[in-house]
Amino acid sequence: MKFNRLLEKQNRFIPSTQAFLEKLSNSNRIIMILLSFICSFIILTDELEYDAKVSIIVFIITLALWVGTKLPAAYVALGALSVIILLKGADTELLYESFSSEIIWLMIGAFVIGEAFSSSGLSTRMTRAIVTRAKTSNQILFYLMISLFPLSIFIPSTSGRAALMLPIVREISNLLKTKKQKEVIALFVPVIILMTTSSTLLGAGSHLIGVEILQKNTGESISYINWLVWGLPFSIMISLVTYFVFKSYFSNELTSQPLDAQKDTTLCKAKPVSKKEKQTLVYLGILILLWLTEAIHGYEIGFITICGALVFMLPKFGVITWKKGLQAVSWNLVLFVAAATALGINLVETGAVKWIEEGIFKLLGAFPHIPQWAILSLIILISITSHIYITSHTTRAVVLVPGILMLSATLELEASAVLFLSLVGMNYCLTFPISSKALLIYYEDDSLRYRANVLMKINMILMPLYFIMMILFYFTYWSWTGLSI
């Protein structure tokens, strides 16, 4: 009787499995077969300890879930940590210590500071400044670009900057006369946000993750001031290139006709600077000064940022309340970054990274004399195109940085220089709306929405220009300022 029941269950299971496989596309089937082969190879190898095997297999499956499913990234990452611990691939401290990283506290503090900037009225003043200076739709692009640079200095999240600019862009779009003009603005803002990401060390969470992995692997680091010297000029130049590309490509949509003055409402009415705005500017100035002088006072950027956030939430003397500050934090993003960083660090601690590194040594041994320009081009190309198959900005850093650092060690390259170039390359992510949260915010907004095919066309122009610009900067300005692989 029991045998018959088992047989019935098996007969029901086989058709359901076949139906599932039939629903998969050919590409998904190939991916599943490839993942199965890789996992089987890792299980059967005698060169890895048990905990290293668990770490690699879970990481591979996690990456597949990040890229190929719609499951929340933070949920997948926390689940992966839990599975590793359940399978005895790591101690429970892996989960607890994942929230002790500097980047976690830095991000929490920065979200609070971003909310204070918005609540103080400075974002509204920024809108007014753009509107009063840009007399035509043609000029709006330039002033929007100028206004986005300060945000990259103290808001370490592309999606945070995009969300902060959204009400500003909505107000400006009311002054535009055609739907196509609104579409151009809706696309231009997130693109420039991504282009200015390389300005500072705080421009993206991926920068902080990369530097942390660099410190744990090599003991080296990149200071805030060094990154500013290398990254800001590049961001300015590539943003200007992007501006001229938009101006040329959308020349029919962007006109020199005056904006509709009837829709200006209160935006163009000058108002005195409020007490909260003055407070915010003073606090931000002190905060940026402390970031720049980290080498002098010795306090880390994360600690300084948390202190700054506490000042912004001071009772009576602050800009926002404690409750409002906490509500501004993207806890989903914080959880994801903590768990994803822990996954990357666990690969190092279990010896999995060392095993992969030895394999790379053997592979590259067949190519002992690789020209520097070829190595540079390969690193930049991999970084720039990585957003196509790894959609999350943070995930790209977690996945690619360890391998890139292994490559630099194998070829005896300067690790900090290779890391900087890789992270700047990873900041390019313009192929699809899903390639960046900043793009998605404007793509999903009904009042502004741009078309995905327009983004693709712009990407076909900007991607090679970004690659060429990085090559030119490396052999000129970056080399002159001490950046060399």
Q: What is the pLDDT of residue 359?
A: 67
266 and 166, same domain (yes or no):
yes
73 and 203, same domain (yes or no):
no
Most confident of 70-74, 186-190, 227-231, 463-467: 463-467
Q: Is the pLDDT of residue 160 over 50?
A: yes
How is residue 465 written in tokens? 């220009």
Q: Is the pLDDT of residue 15 over 70?
A: no
Q: What is the pLDDT of residue 469?
A: 93
CA nearest neighbour of 407 among 376, 434, 431: 376
Average pLDDT over residues 58-84: 80
Specify if 46 maps to a domain: yes
Q: Is-contact 416 220, C-beta < 8 A?
A: yes
Specify if 345 maps to a domain: no
Question: 10 pLDDT band (50/70/90 cuts)?
Answer: very low
Average pLDDT over residues 79-95: 86
How is residue 365 written in tokens? 């041994």
Which of 4-18, 157-171, 217-231 is least confident?
Answer: 4-18
Q: Alpha-carbon distance 279 to 116, whole Å?
A: 10
The model's pLDDT over 18-64, given as tens digits with 9 standing for 90+, comes to: 554 455 555 566 666 777 777 777 776 777 788 888 888 888 888 77
Average pLDDT over residues 367-390: 76
Q: Is-contact 31 60, C-beta < 8 A?
A: no
Q: Is the pLDDT of residue 92 over 80?
A: yes
Specify if 114 maps to a domain: no
86 and 147, same domain (yes or no):
no
Give the containing element (helix H, strand E) for 440: helix 437-443
Please report which residue ranges of 120-223 form alpha helices under DSSP H.
Answer: 122-133, 137-154, 158-173, 179-195, 205-218
Q: With the CA atoms of 378, 384, 389 and 394 taken in that order, what torsion angle do they form, in degrees rounded to the nearest 10?
A: 120
Question: 268 pLDDT band (50/70/90 cuts)?
Answer: low
Q: Is-contact 246 140, C-beta < 8 A?
A: no
64 and 197, same domain (yes or no):
no
- What percentage of residues in the chain have a pLDDT greater than 70? 78
Most confident of 292-296, 364-368, 444-448, 474-478: 474-478
Long-range contact set of residues 123-129: C-beta below 8 Å, sequence gap at least 24:
123/164, 123/165, 123/167, 123/168, 124/168, 125/271, 125/273, 125/277, 126/168, 127/167, 127/168, 127/171, 127/172, 127/267, 128/267, 128/268, 128/269, 128/270, 128/271
Specify if 41 maps to a domain: yes
* pTM of the model as a whole: 0.66
Q: What is the pLDDT of residue 6?
A: 45
Which of 46-60, 161-175, 223-237, 310-324 is least confident?
Answer: 161-175
Question: 14 pLDDT band (50/70/90 cuts)?
Answer: very low
For residue 428, what are the domain limits?
Answer: 122-273+351-480
400 and 442, same domain (yes or no):
yes
Q: Is the pLDDT of residue 128 over 80?
A: no
Question: 3 pLDDT band (50/70/90 cuts)?
Answer: very low
The neighbouring-strand residues paired with 258 are 136
Q: What is the pLDDT of residue 234?
A: 92
92 and 180, same domain (yes or no):
no
377 and 242, same domain (yes or no):
yes
Q: What is the pLDDT of residue 329?
A: 80
Specify if 335 maps to a domain: no
Q: Is the pLDDT of residue 370 over 80?
A: no
144 and 182, same domain (yes or no):
yes
Q: Is the pLDDT of residue 168 over 60?
A: yes
Q: What is the pLDDT of residue 259?
A: 58
Q: Is the pLDDT of residue 475 over 70?
A: yes
Count CB-CB contacts under 10 A for residue 349: 14
39 and 79, same domain (yes or no):
yes
234 and 371, same domain (yes or no):
yes
Average pLDDT over residues 426-440: 79
Specify if 128 maps to a domain: yes
The residue written with tokens 């108002």 in the block is: 271
217 and 260, same domain (yes or no):
yes
Q: Alpha-carbon distance 438 to 104, whole Å?
A: 20
Question: 181 pLDDT band (50/70/90 cuts)?
Answer: confident
134: left (phi over 0), alpha (psi -120 to 50) or beta: beta
3-class DSSP assignment, residue 136: strand
Report the number of distinct structural domains present in the chain. Answer: 2
Specify if 285 maps to a domain: no
How is residue 299 written in tokens? 């306090």
Q: What is the pLDDT of residue 367?
A: 59
Specify if 373 maps to a domain: yes
> Helix, strand, coil: what percent of the chain each, to 5?
75, 0, 25
B/e letters for 202-237, b = 16+ CB within 10 Å, e = fewer, are: bbbbbbbbbbbbbeebeeeebbbebbbebbbbbbee
Q: Alpha-carbon distance 383 to 401, whole Å?
A: 10
Q: Tell me the average pLDDT of the chain.
A: 76
Q: What is the pLDDT of residue 464?
A: 92
32 and 154, same domain (yes or no):
no
